[in-house]
Amino acid sequence: MAKTIKIFDTTLRDGEQSPGCSMNLKEKIEMAQQLERMNVDVIEAGFAAASPGDLHSIQEISKHIKNCTVASLARAHKDDIDKAWESLKFAEKPRIHVFLATSPIHMEYKLKMTPEEVLISSEKMVTYAKSLCNDIEFSAEDATRSNVDFLAQVFDKVIKAGATTINIPDTVGYTTPDEYYDFLTAIIEKCPALKTIDISVHCHNDLGLGVANSIAAIKAGVTQIECTVNGIGERAGNAALEEIVMSLNTRKDYYDIETRIDTRQIVRSSNLLSRITGVKVQPNKAIVGANAFAHESGIHQHGVLNNKETYEIMTPESIGLDTNRLVLGKHSGRHAFNDKLTQLGYELTKEELDMAFKKFKDLADKKKDVYDKDIDALVSRQKIEVPKIFELINYVINSGNVITSTATLTIRKGDNLIEEVAVGEGPIYASFKAIEKVIGKDLELDDFSLTSVTEGEDALGDAVVRLKENGRVYVGRGLSTDIIESSIIAYINALNKMMFENETI
Ligand SMILES: CC(=O)SCCNC(=O)CCNC(=O)[C@H](O)C(C)(C)COP(=O)(O)OP(=O)(O)OC[C@H]1O[C@@H](n2cnc3c(N)ncnc32)[C@H](O)[C@@H]1OP(=O)(O)O
Ligand SMILES: CC(C)C(=O)C(=O)O
């Protein structure tokens, strides 16, 4: 019988450590709910001691999650562990995740602790965490550059102290698949107690080997894999969840390993994360890249026309890739719309449904064919919307290749309608300048991009604006069949986020 391994998702903790990938509370809750829909076993929701905001967001995420374990990270410090426990007070299935580095370089230069002190502290802190919570994970940070005998000693102590999962991470993405397999096999042999609990790995991608190392670890007998959606994470990122899960799924014939992941939720999870962070997935990314199922050359196309399996090792449907099915049109009613939302995995309140239905009708008026992707984009965006402190009422553009563009914008702030005119190189830049005039200050535009949600002349334009202030990036998104309108909405959305989170303006 196939063995089932656990998927521990750390998109909201290690993933959020990725530059430019920070998320606000609403976005984290929406992402956590999507992870639950995808059926991950554990959601690492954050590092409570990092800030009161992090602690609060773990509490709020916990309130919304029923089926997954929620983990909170802590250094081997009593105060961190107390905060982690406080952050988990609403969790149905809480896990405290304590970590301490075990490699000579980390112990000497970072922790300034002797191996003996690390041994004592690990045992003491796991004992303390266990007095609060039954489910305790212990991670030996930089395990792959640690001495195997020393690690075995640490693991013996923390397992006796009550750890229920031991994580053996490749913190700096240093190891290779063969070496990791040998290393894990050796450590399991030296510390037989490991066989009585869950053994986990957490692989980074510094050499591009995060997924390969995770798969080698499964072969060596580990029972939990730590990973992130789209492989985001510190530096070059973490092992990508979708790649690990689909490798095991596609090569079940070889590994005979299963996960509990609903693979049809993979594309939606990837899209939602990109939508939230504004970080796009590279087109040739395995599984979720735009080209992952595209066949460009004649010989391939010929093969696929005769039999898809000539060049496709998994079906697009198995990862939830919508094959552009026409779903609804402007004559569709509320029941059909609600039914579609249920199929897509959404549960909306009546108020949310009313709002989404109105947006859908507006879209169906402008766009001939409405696809699953369009509806997903509309609804997932609505769920992470912040209050509209500024709102676009209307705009007029005067532009061409022989004149400087002029934008006239009317924007609502509270009960006031403010109109401003600005000129700029191109209609979008002129519009952004007009918004700055409305708020009375210059903003730093970190990045701007525009893509289409689906194909076709009437496709929805998806604009992403990244505004930077005091080192923080605020990502705004705008969706419209008119690309200038979507750009203006995206800019105002980023501005609203900045105000909502920071009250800076
Ligand atoms: C491999 C990983 O991904 S680990 C997780 C990384 N995530 C983060 O760092 C989250 C964001 N971090 C933060 O907000 C801050 O670093 C905080 C709040 C956690 C700590 O901030 P500060 O107290 O100012 O410490 P700072 O970050 O400068 O240094 C880390 C301290 O923790 C110690 N430390 C590091 N890891 C551990 C550990 N696992 N257990 C105990 N102490 C540790 C370091 O030795 C250093 O101690 P020192 O202050 O006595 O010299
Ligand atoms: C805290 C641990 C698990 C970690 O993030 C790492 O080792 O990379």
pLDDT at 3 over 60: yes
pLDDT digits (tens, 9 = 90+) for 281-304: 998 999 999 889 877 777 777 787
Residue ranges in 345-426 assigned as alpha helix (H): 350-366, 372-383
DSSP structure class, residue 291: T
Distance from C-alpha of 124 to C-alpha of 158, rounded to nearest angstrom: 8
- Residue ending a domain, among 347, 364, 383, is 383
Nearest to 234 by CA among 126, 142, 145: 142
Judged by its nearest atom, the ligand closest to the C-alpha of residue 226 is 2
pLDDT at 458 over 50: yes
Q: 158 CA to middle of ligand 2, Å?
A: 17
Confidence (pLDDT) at 371:
81
pLDDT at 397 over 50: yes
pLDDT at 207 over 50: yes
471 occurs within a structural domain:
yes
Nearest to 355 by CA among 331, 316, 330, 383: 383
Q: Are 356 and 341 contacting, i.e. CB atoms less than 8 angstroms apart?
A: yes
Judged by its nearest atom, the ligand closest to the C-alpha of residue 76 is 1
Q: 77 CA to middle of ligand 1, Å?
A: 10
Could you tell me if 354 and 231 lie in one domain?
Answer: no
41 occurs within a structural domain:
yes
pLDDT at 505 over 50: no
Could you tell me if 226 and 357 lie in one domain?
Answer: no
Residues with CB under 6 A from ligand 1: 14, 17, 47, 49-50, 75-77, 99-100, 110-111, 141, 171, 234
pLDDT at 196 over 80: yes
321 pLDDT tier (thresholds 50, 70, 90)? confident
Nearest CA to ligand 1 atom 20: 50
Single-letter residue type at 93: K
Q: 171 CA to middle of ligand 1, Å?
A: 15
490 occurs within a structural domain:
yes
Atom of ligand 2 nearest to the CA of 172: 8
Confidence (pLDDT) at 365:
85
pLDDT digits (tens, 9 = 90+) for 345-374: 788 889 889 989 998 888 888 777 788 878
Confidence (pLDDT) at 346:
82
pLDDT digits (tens, 9 = 90+) for 29-73: 999 999 999 999 999 999 999 999 999 999 999 999 999 999 999
CATH number where 132 lies: 3.20.20.70
Could you tell me if 353 and 468 lie in one domain?
Answer: no
Q: How far from 178 is each of 141, 150, 167, 213, 257, CA to CA, in Å? A: 20, 21, 19, 8, 19
Distance from C-alpha of 156 to C-alpha of 152, rounded to nearest angstrom: 6
Q: 268 CA to middle of ligand 2, Å?
A: 26
pLDDT at 230 over 90: yes
Q: Which domain holds residue 306?
A: 291-321
- Residue ending a domain, among 277, 311, 331, is 277
Residues 6+ apart with CB under 8 A from 289: 281, 282, 283
pLDDT at 324 over 60: no
Q: 313 CA to middle of ligand 2, Å?
A: 32
In a mutational test of the pocket of ligand 1, which residue from 103, 111, 121, 123 has the highest number of ligand atoms less than 8 Å from its CB? 111
pLDDT at 20 over 80: no
285 occurs within a structural domain:
no
Judged by its nearest atom, the ligand closest to the C-alpha of residue 100 is 1
Per the structure, the count of domains in the chain is 4
282 occurs within a structural domain:
no
Nearest CA to ligand 1 atom 46: 111
State the average pLDDT over residues 241-259: 97
Could you tell me if 243 and 329 lie in one domain?
Answer: no
Could you tell me if 434 and 344 lie in one domain?
Answer: no
Distance from C-alpha of 498 to C-alpha of 105, rounded to nearest angstrom: 40
CATH number where 473 lies: 3.30.160.270
378 pLDDT tier (thresholds 50, 70, 90)? confident
400 occurs within a structural domain:
yes
Judged by its nearest atom, the ligand closest to the C-alpha of residue 139 is 2
Annotated binding site for Mn(2+): 14, 202, 204, 238
Could you tell me if 317 and 466 lie in one domain?
Answer: no
Beta carbon of 167 within 6 Å of any ligand 2 atom: yes
State the average pLDDT over residues 373-380: 83
Confidence (pLDDT) at 311:
87
Q: 461 CA to middle of ligand 2, Å?
A: 38
Confidence (pLDDT) at 504:
44
Beta carbon of 165 within 6 Å of any ligand 2 atom: no
CA within 13 Å, CB half, 106: 17
Could you tell me if 130 and 184 lie in one domain?
Answer: yes
In a mutational test of the pocket of ligand 2, which residue from 16, 73, 110, 205 has the highest number of ligand atoms less than 8 Å from its CB? 73
Beta carbon of 122 within 6 Å of any ligand 2 atom: no
- Residue ending a domain, among 383, 414, 432, is 383
Q: Report residue 210 as tokens.
A: 């995060």
Confidence (pLDDT) at 441:
86
18 occurs within a structural domain:
yes
Average pLDDT, the chain: 92
283 occurs within a structural domain:
no
Could you tell me if 144 and 253 lie in one domain?
Answer: yes
Nearest to 103 by CA among 85, 115, 87: 115
Beta carbon of 14 within 6 Å of any ligand 2 atom: yes
Share of the chain above pLDDT 70, in %: 97
pLDDT digits (tens, 9 = 90+) for 474-486: 889 888 888 999 9
State the average pLDDT over residues 373-385: 80
Confidence (pLDDT) at 336:
83
Could you tell me if 441 and 472 lie in one domain?
Answer: yes
pLDDT digits (tens, 9 = 90+) for 121-133: 999 999 999 999 9
Q: Report residue 243 as tokens.
A: 């790649």
Could you tell me if 27 and 134 lie in one domain?
Answer: yes
Which tops the pLDDT comparison, 114 or 440? 114
3-state DSSP assignment of residue 22? coil
Could you tell me if 337 and 456 lie in one domain?
Answer: no
Atom of ligand 1 nearest to the CA of 125: 40
Which of 217-226, 262-271, 381-390 shows the lowest per-residue confidence on average (mean pLDDT)?
381-390
Could you tell me if 171 and 31 lie in one domain?
Answer: yes
pLDDT at 114 over 50: yes
Which of 16-30, 339-353, 476-490 shows the lowest per-residue confidence on average (mean pLDDT)?
339-353
pLDDT at 263 over 90: yes
Nearest CA to ligand 2 atom 1: 99
Q: How far from 233 is each of 68, 71, 226, 237, 273, CA to CA, in Å? A: 21, 17, 11, 4, 12
Distance from C-alpha of 304 to C-alpha of 299, rounded to nearest angstrom: 9
Beta carbon of 17 within 6 Å of any ligand 2 atom: no
Nearest CA to ligand 2 atom 6: 171
Beta carbon of 202 within 6 Å of any ligand 2 atom: yes
